[in-house]
Amino acid sequence: MPTPARDPQPGQAHARVEVLLPKAVVPGDRMDVGVKFTIEKDWHLYWNGQNDSGTPIEIELKMPTGFKAKETLWPAPERLVEPGGILNHIYEREVILVVPVEVAKDAKVGPAEIAVESKWLACKEACVPESGGAKATMKVDAVPADQSAQYVHEAVAKARAALPIELAKDDPRVKIVIEGRRATIQAPGAREIAFMPGPDCTPVETLADRGIAKADKLDFELAESQNPIRISGIVRVTNSEGVRAYYHIDTHAGAHPESGKNRPCPGR
**Do 109 and 183 lie in a common domain?**
no
In angstroms, the Cα distances linking 181 to 203, 205, 215, 249 are 11, 10, 21, 18
In angstroms, the CA 46 to CA 31 distance is 25
**Do 131 and 188 lie in a common domain?**
no
The whole-number pLDDT of residue 56 equals: 97
261, part of any domain: no
**Do 153 and 185 lie in a common domain?**
no
CATH classification of the domain holding 232: 2.60.40
**Do 86 and 195 lie in a common domain?**
no
DSSP at 103: P
- Burial status of residue 71 (CB atoms within 10 A of its CB: 0-12, 13-18, 19 or more): exposed
CATH classification of the domain holding 65: 2.60.40.1250
30, part of any domain: yes
Q: Is 29 helix (H, G, I), strand (E, B) or coil?
A: coil
**Do 100 and 177 lie in a common domain?**
no
**Do 139 and 198 lie in a common domain?**
no
Q: What number of other Cβ atoms are within 10 A of residue 49's Cβ?
A: 20
136, part of any domain: yes
63, part of any domain: yes
The whole-number pLDDT of residue 11 equals: 57
At a CB cut-off of 8 Å and minimum separation 6, what does 227 contact? Answer: 202
**Do 188 and 74 lie in a common domain?**
no
The whole-number pLDDT of residue 258 equals: 40
In angstroms, the CA 238 to CA 51 distance is 22
The whole-number pLDDT of residue 254 equals: 52
* Domain enclosing residue 102, as ranges: 5-161
62, part of any domain: yes
Among 161, 188, 210, residue at a domain's last position: 161
pLDDT per 10-residue tile (average), the chain, 268 residues: 40 90 94 97 96 95 96 96 92 98 95 97 94 96 74 94 89 92 94 96 90 95 88 95 95 52 34
**Do 188 and 144 lie in a common domain?**
no
Q: Is 111 helix (H, G, I), strand (E, B) or coil?
A: strand
**Do 37 and 85 lie in a common domain?**
yes
At a CB cut-off of 8 Å and minimum separation 6, what does 14 contact? Answer: 39, 40, 43, 122, 124, 128, 130
255, part of any domain: no
DSSP at 204: B
Q: What number of other Cβ atoms are within 10 A of residue 196's Cβ?
A: 26
In angstroms, the CA 87 to CA 191 distance is 22
Q: What number of other Cβ atoms are within 10 A of residue 186's Cβ?
A: 18
> Can you list the pairs that 153-157 forms with residues at least 24 positions away whose Cβ atoms lie under 8 Å?
153/2, 153/20, 153/21, 153/22, 153/32, 153/34, 155/20, 155/34, 155/36, 155/96, 156/20, 156/22, 156/32, 156/33, 156/34, 156/96, 156/98, 157/32
**Do 135 and 192 lie in a common domain?**
no
**Do 124 and 203 lie in a common domain?**
no
Antiparallel, parallel or unpaired: β 127-140 and 24-25: parallel
Nearest to 187 by CA among 209, 163, 205, 212: 212
**Do 13 and 133 lie in a common domain?**
yes
28, part of any domain: yes
The whole-number pLDDT of residue 267 equals: 30
- What is the count of structural domains for the chain? 2
The whole-number pLDDT of residue 253 equals: 57
The whole-number pLDDT of residue 195 equals: 97
Q: Residue 235 CA to chain centroid, in angstroms?
A: 13
